[in-house]
Structure 1
């Protein structure tokens, strides 16, 4: 079985408090709640301006190509509070993760909990050698998530990304399979 096939088989993942599962059009209202909040999406994508905008984004990003993309659902309320993705590079046995959590749910450890689950899948199920993540240098909260899941800062990428009409620096964090195993 290929790494890509193994990733497809892991389309539902659980943690103690979260269900990571495919995003559907039925999630539009929950996603709009956080994706329309300018503070939540400040460092990631354009704010959703309408529920129809959210539905279109779900169809074009999550439904059209669902591989490596999960909604983050609270088990206790069945509410979608964010999303997380896993951009696999099967040839080089590595991946990049990215995440968004609604501002109303910040500070509860949901982003690290979801991200740790993807690290576990990547290293234990897919046999990856490296998983990394980038954050805008201004977005210190995202960097703290990366630190909490055991990633190490590897460097600053100057003028790396175009973000809403301006050029920003990104900070690169990563963890290797050896580092992951030593933390377990």
Structure 2
């Protein structure tokens, strides 16, 4: 079985407080709630301006190509509070993690909890050698998530990303399979 096929088999994951599951158009209202909030999306993507905008985004990004993309659903309320992505590079045995969580849920450990689950799957099921993540240098909270899951800062990428009409620096974090085994 290929790494990609193993990833496809792991489209439903679970943590102590979260279900990681495929996103559907039925999630549009929950996603719109946080994707339309300027604070939540400040460092990631353009704010959704309408519920229809959110539906189109779900169809074109999550439904059209669902591999490695999960909605984060609270077990306690069954509310979707964010998303997490796992961009696989099968050839080089690595992946990149990205996440977005509604700002009303920040500070509760949900992003590290979900990201740790993806690290576990990536290293223990998929056999990856490296998992990395980037954050805008201004977004210190995202960097803190990366530190909490055991990633190490590897460098500053100057003028790396276009973010809402301006050029920003990104900070690269990563963890290897050897580092994961030592945790």
TM-score between both structures, scaled by the size of structure 1: 0.99
The alpha-carbon deviation at position 165 of structure 1 amounts to: 0.2
Counterpart CA distance in 1 for 2:41 and 2:151 is 23
How many correspondences in the alignment?
Answer: 183
Q: Which residue of 2 aligns with 1:76?
A: 76
Name stretches of at least 5 consecutive residues in structure 2 with no aligned partner: none
What is the DSSP-based 3-state SS (H/G/I as helix, E as strand, rest coil) of the residue aligned with 1:91?
Answer: coil
Counterpart CA distance in 1 for 2:121 and 2:38 is 31
1:101-135 residue CA offsets vs partner (Å, 9 max, x unmatched): 00010000000000000000000000000000000
CA RMSD of aligned residues (A): 0.3
The alpha-carbon deviation at position 37 of structure 1 amounts to: 0.2
The alpha-carbon deviation at position 54 of structure 1 amounts to: 0.3
The alpha-carbon deviation at position 64 of structure 1 amounts to: 0.2
Which structure 1 residue ranges, 4+ long, deviate > 3 Å from structure 2? none
What is the DSSP-based 3-state SS (H/G/I as helix, E as strand, rest coil) of the residue aligned with 1:40?
Answer: helix
Q: 1:122-137, aligned counterparts within 5 Å?
A: 122-137=122-137
What is the DSSP-based 3-state SS (H/G/I as helix, E as strand, rest coil) of the residue aligned with 1:95?
Answer: strand
Q: Which residue of 2 aligns with 1:39?
A: 39
Counterpart CA distance in 1 for 2:56 and 2:161 is 24
Q: 1:52-91, aligned counterparts within 5 Å?
A: 52-91=52-91
Q: Which residue of 2 aligns with 1:149?
A: 149
Counterpart CA distance in 1 for 2:50 and 2:113 is 29
Q: Which residue of 2 aligns with 1:20?
A: 20
What is the DSSP-based 3-state SS (H/G/I as helix, E as strand, rest coil) of the residue aligned with 2:169?
Answer: strand
What is the DSSP-based 3-state SS (H/G/I as helix, E as strand, rest coil) of the residue aligned with 2:11?
Answer: coil
What is the DSSP-based 3-state SS (H/G/I as helix, E as strand, rest coil) of the residue aligned with 1:67?
Answer: coil
Counterpart CA distance in 2 for 1:24 and 1:129 is 31
Name stretches of at least 5 consecutive residues in structure 1 with no aligned partner: none
